[in-house]
Amino acid sequence: MTTLGQIALWLALLVAAWGTVVGFLGGIHRRPELIQSAKRATYALCALLTAAALALLVALLRHDFNVAYVASYTSRDLPTVYTISAFYGGQAGSLLFWAFVLSIFAAAAQWLTPRRYEHLMPYVAGVTSAVTLFFVTVTAIAANPFERLPFTPPDGNGLNPQLQNPGMVMHPPMLYLGYISITIPFAFAVAALVSRRLDTGWLHAIRRWTLLSWTFLSIGITLGMWWAYVELGWGGYWAWDPVENASFLPWLTMTAFLHSVMIQEKRGMLKKWNVTLIGLSFVLSIFGTFITRSGIISSVHSFTQSSVGYYFLAFLVLTIAAFGWLLWTRLPDLRSEAQLESALSREASFYFNNLLLVGMAFSVLWGTLFPILSEWIQGTKVTVGPPFFNQVNIPIGLALLALTGVGPLIAWRKASPQNLKRQFAAPVAAGAITAVLLLAMRFGDFYAGVALSLAAFVVGTIVQEFARGIAARHRLHGEGYALAFARLVARNRRRYGGYIVHLAIVIYFVAFSGMAFKTEMEASLRPGEQATLRSPYGHVYTFTHLGVSQYDAMNRWVTAASVEVARDGKRIGVMTSEKRQHFTCTLPVEPCPAALRRPSFEPSTEAGIRSTLREDIYIVYAGSVEGTEEAVYRFTINPLVWWVWFGGFVLVVGGLVVMWPGGGPTRASLRRALPGYQVSLAGRGVDAD
């Protein structure tokens, strides 16, 4: 099977090169036979890379340890689900996974895109084939997952224990799907620039692709936070780690695009913004892949240093240069059709929203790159930690939260005093009342108080919009309130799905504000000894050390420390935190005798977590005093963490509502996209806005 994988990989390289050439030549010269050949090359590329991916998957499941990749990332006692996830657990496999998934997306784009955009499709095929060509080239030359060893070891090294977690089964592929699917909007943007068809047609073609990419990134980032919280044992879920930042950057620019694209559809404005944001999102997705594979940063998320980073750096520079030149030469075609008429308008609020999102992206990028740049220039690495990121980005985030409530309510073109009063009276009152209550309670953290007050304001805008829409349907159609709600969302999924996403963002902000009040302590306890910790809500938690036990569990030795937990004197249960030492067997026997076991990887920690709607109890066993059952613990109370995961769920629901088939372009944007194209919108529920 690995021979088949090698052959498929090299054939895919040739087909991708062919698809790149004939795609652009066919589009430029409008030669049908070349256009058709480019389309077929996309499908052939998908078939070849599917064969290569299946070959690697079979090698993993068969434990073919003669394959270097299989021996490096699996072992005989590794559970099947983690054996499968080892496909993308190492560098070579993840690159093949990227190329494989991209080929599926490229084929789907050719298959599913309506014929009215067929003038763009040869260029789309050319771009997707070119990007696939890069990944296949790197995979085949620099990180080939089918390379064989000169001998066959009895067992493999196994998978890193930190990756043996349900979160890491889903987090990497979700993040990869987000990164990879950005290529499709980027390909359409390049196609629009090359063909000079820069109306809103290409925006309609990529709307669901962009939402799909943004949703995958959102899921991936949230799952990554959950994994960091439950697996790394440091008591938090976001540390401004360079790889965390790398995933956050394209999310910010795509969020900006999803807002500004509405301005182009409605008013014909922000054309330069939209093309630039799509290009920037793609570049940042490649940048994120570069820093995880180059070895230039130190992170629990990154791969080891290798020559692959140089390939990505070259591709990154070439992409920026080519797209920048193309954008520069098309600037005259990107002139706005209208001008900003007032700072008190929806256009202005979305423009400010873009500035803040891009400003945040720049600050995160600068903080991520500064240690690298300082080391290159001065020879000394200057660490940029969470205080810098928090100091810069918390005020920007709060301003964005405020605009989340302003944008949907303020009028287009220019808001009148009557409009402002009618739309904002109730939401502003909700925010002001919340602020007064927090002041009366002597709320302890300024930024957290501002976040909660703004959250009340934004929730007020969302509730008001849903209430008005439901009341209107109830009054006009006599529908019950539940039915009116369902049909309101169904008839205008883009608008009300967006409100659901805004609600998720509010939930995130409220949850994040809770971490300003986390409390923690360390204690060394003998069996029967106690430690107490007061939570932000005033509860007193008592932790009684019960003892330490050791046992074998499949492919690891486990040392577990147990604690009895009581809240305000009332017992709530026993919690356990573990230290795990994974091992491999020197001979292919099951079960593996103790004499044949050898340790693999560094010991890992499994935190004990008890979660409620209000707060989490988080216990980490740090180790024992040698020869005794005296254990060293870190006890932490984290407020509102459950709401982070719930916010992610609501975000996905909102994204799915917006993406659900059946919506269509607006009347005004369709006229811009297809001049002279006559279509009846009667009965289709198209929003005139």
| C-alpha dihedral sign at 428, 434, 440, 446 | negative
- Can you tell me the distance from the alpha carbon of 294 to that of 286, in angstroms, rounded to the nearest whole number? 12
Instruction: Count CA atoms within 13 Å of residue 325 on its CB side.
Output: 5
Which of the residues in the chain have pLDDT under 50? 300-303, 664-689
> One fold for both 1-159 and 517-643?
no
Count other C-beta atoms under 10 Å from residue 314's C-beta. 12
Q: Which of 369, 396, 389 is nearest to 255 (CA)?
A: 396
Answer yes or no: are the C-beta atoms of 239 and 386 closer than 8 Å: yes
- Can you tell me the distance from the alpha carbon of 128 to that of 162, in angstroms, rounded to the nearest whole number? 33
User: What's the pLDDT score for residue 52?
Assistant: 96
Domain ranges of the chain: 1-159, 517-643
- Can you tell me the distance from the alpha carbon of 108 to that of 125, in angstroms, rounded to the nearest whole number? 11
Candidates 1.10.3470, 2.60.98, 2.40.50, 3.30.460; correct CATH number of 517-643? Answer: 2.60.98
Count other C-beta atoms under 10 Å from residue 74's C-beta. 29
Tell me how far the alpha carbon of residue 220 is from its chain's centroid. Answer: 4
Strand pairing class (556-567; 570-585): antiparallel
User: What's the pLDDT score for residue 593?
Assistant: 62
| C-alpha dihedral sign at 477, 481, 482, 488 | positive
Task: For residue range 313-358, list pLDDT tens digits in order.
Answer: 899 999 999 999 999 999 988 888 777 777 888 888 888 999 999 9
Answer yes or no: are the C-beta atoms of 165 and 230 closer than 8 Å: yes
User: What's the pLDDT score for residue 685?
Assistant: 36
User: What's the pLDDT score for residue 682?
Assistant: 35
User: What's the pLDDT score for residue 75?
Assistant: 85
In 296-345, which ranges are continuous DSSP H helix?
308-329
User: What's the pLDDT score for residue 634?
Assistant: 94
User: What's the pLDDT score for residue 667?
Assistant: 47
SS3 619: strand
SS3 443: coil
In this structure, which topology does domain 1-159 adopt according to CATH? Answer: Four Helix Bundle (Hemerythrin (Met), subunit A) (1.20.120)
Sheet of strand 615-624, all strands in order from the earlier edge strand to the far edge = 519-525, 631-639, 615-624, 608-611
User: What's the pLDDT score for residue 187?
Assistant: 96
Residues 6+ apart with CB under 8 A from 322: none
Q: Burial level of 80, CB count in 10 A (0-12/13-18/19+)?
A: exposed
Q: Burial level of 224, CB count in 10 A (0-12/13-18/19+)?
A: buried
Answer yes or no: are the C-beta atoms of 1 and 52 closer than 8 Å: no
- Can you tell me the distance from the alpha carbon of 634 to that of 319, in angstroms, rounded to the nearest whole number? 47
Task: For residue range 119-137, list pLDDT tens digits in order.
Answer: 999 999 999 999 999 999 9
The gap between the terminal CA atoms of the chain, to the nearest Å, is: 55
